Amino acid sequence: MTKPPLDILLCTPRGFCAGVVRAIDAVEKALSLHGAPVYVRHEIVHNKYVVESLKRKGAVFVAELSQVPDATRPVIFSAHGVPKSVPAEAQQRHLFAIDATCPLVTKVHREAEVHHKRGRHILLVGHAGHPEVIGTMGQLPEGAITLIETLSDVAALAPPPDRPLAFVTQTTLSVDDTREIVEALQARFPGLIGPHREDICYATTNRQEAVKHVAPKVDAMIVVGSPNSSNSQRLREVAERAGCPAARLVLRTDEIDWSVFGGIRRLGLTAGASAPEVLVEEIIDAFAARYEVRVETVTTADESVFFPLPRELRGEPQPAPAE
C-alpha cells in the first residue's frame, strides 16, 4: 500500500545545549580518567535516556552525598546547580567533588549573592521544587529569597518593607510567561533591580523561538524530552500557545499516541535541551514507517556556545609513581 505523505518541519536549534554537553562530557571524562564507579548527585541532566546510558558506562546516580560510600571516587554535581550546603558537606567528608553546574546557572547564583551583599531582598521567578530553584535559593540564608511562580504570587507579595528589591529567574522558563511576571513585578515595585543580561539562557530562548515559528504551520508537534525537563515542558506549552492543534512531549517512540498523529500531513519536531539527537532520529524513523516522509529543516538561530569542562577534568591522568 502507498504510504500517505508527511512533511516534517524540523526545528533548529533543538536538543543539547552547551551546558548539557558540558555536564554529560564531565561524567564521561571522569569515567575515562578515573574508571568506574563515578557517582553523580541527582540526574546529571533531565533525560532518562541519557541517565540510563551513563549508568551502563559506570555512573552511579545518588540522591544525596550520604549515599556515596567511597570518598576516593569522583562525585559530580548536576548541571542544575546545588545549594551551598552540598559542596560544604563534600568538603567536610573529603569527597573528590566535581561541579558540573551550567555556567549560566552559576551566573544566576552570583547575581543573587551580589544582591544579597548589597542589602537587597531577592525575588526568584521559577518553579518550586525544580533542582535549579532549590540550588539558587540554597546560595543564601533562609528568607533572603522569595519564590515567585505566578502573577497571583506577584499580587500577593509582601516583601520586607525596609529593603530594596531585586529579581533573578530560573534559566529554563517560558520567555513569554516570565516577561509577564517581570512586567507585573516592575509595575508593583518601580525600583526593582534586574540582571544586566536576562537569566533565561540562550538555548531556552532559541528553542522557544524556533517552536513559535513552526507551530502555526503544522497539524501537530512533538517535543522530544522527559516529563521532568522544565525546558521541554515549556516548549510544549509554547507550541500550544502559538496555535498548534496538538503538541505532545514524547521521550521515545513507544510513547507516540497514533490516535493523535495518525492522520496528519504536517508535523513539527523539536527536542528539549537535554534530549540527544538519536531520539529525534528514532521519532523520524517511526513516522517514516507509516508515512512517506519529507524532512525540512527550519532554522531560526545559529548556536556556537561552548563551555570548557570543570577544571578537575581538563588535564590528563598523572602517571603512577614508580615503585
3-state helix, strand, coil in the chain (%, to 5): 40, 20, 40
Distance CA 258, CA 290 (A): 10
- Catalytic residue status for 132: yes
Q: 3-class SS at 38?
A: strand
Of 87, 83, 78, residue with least CA distance to 59: 78
Asked if the model's pLDDT at residue 287 lies above 80, the reply is yes
Average pLDDT over residues 43-70: 96
Predicted pLDDT at 317 = 52
Average pLDDT over residues 29-53: 96
The distance from CA 127 to its chain's CA centroid, rounded to whole angstroms, is: 13
- C-alpha angle 8/14/16, rounded to 5°? 140
Q: 3-class SS at 235?
A: helix
Indicate the pLDDT class of residue 196, thresholds 50, 70 and 90: confident
Distance CA 156, CA 201 (A): 28
- Using an 8 Å Cβ cutoff, are 243 and 40 in contact? no
Q: What is the mean pLDDT of the chain?
A: 95
Average pLDDT over residues 283-303: 97
Who has greater pLDDT, 319 or 194? 194
- Using an 8 Å Cβ cutoff, are 165 and 189 in contact? yes
Average pLDDT over residues 273-294: 97
Average pLDDT over residues 228-237: 96
Predicted pLDDT at 321 = 43
User: Which architecture characterizes domain 5-16+202-299 according to CATH?
Assistant: 3-Layer(aba) Sandwich (3.40)
Asked if the model's pLDDT at residue 320 lies above 60, the reply is no
Distance CA 194, CA 112 (A): 10
CATH fold match for the domains 5-16+202-299 and 18-102: no
Class (C level, CATH) for 104-188: alpha beta
Indicate the pLDDT class of residue 8, thresholds 50, 70 and 90: very high
- Among the listed residues 28, 43, 111, 132, the single catalytic one is 132
User: Which architecture characterizes domain 18-102 according to CATH?
Assistant: 3-Layer(aba) Sandwich (3.40)
Q: Calculate Rg over the CA atoms of the chain.
A: 22
Asked if the model's pLDDT at residue 21 lies above 90, the reply is yes
Q: 3-class SS at 300?
A: coil
Of 247, 263, 158, residue with least CA distance to 208: 247
User: Could you state, in order of their start, the residue ranges of all structural domains in the chain?
Assistant: 5-16+202-299, 18-102, 104-188
Element (H, E) at 236: helix 230-241
* Grid-cell match 540510563, residue found: 52
Of 228, 240, 235, 257, residue with least CA distance to 15: 235
Average pLDDT over residues 118-143: 97
Asked if the model's pLDDT at residue 316 lies above 70, the reply is no
Q: Mind listing the pLDDT tens digit for each residue in 133-190?
A: 999 999 999 999 999 999 999 999 999 999 999 999 999 999 999 999 999 999 999 9
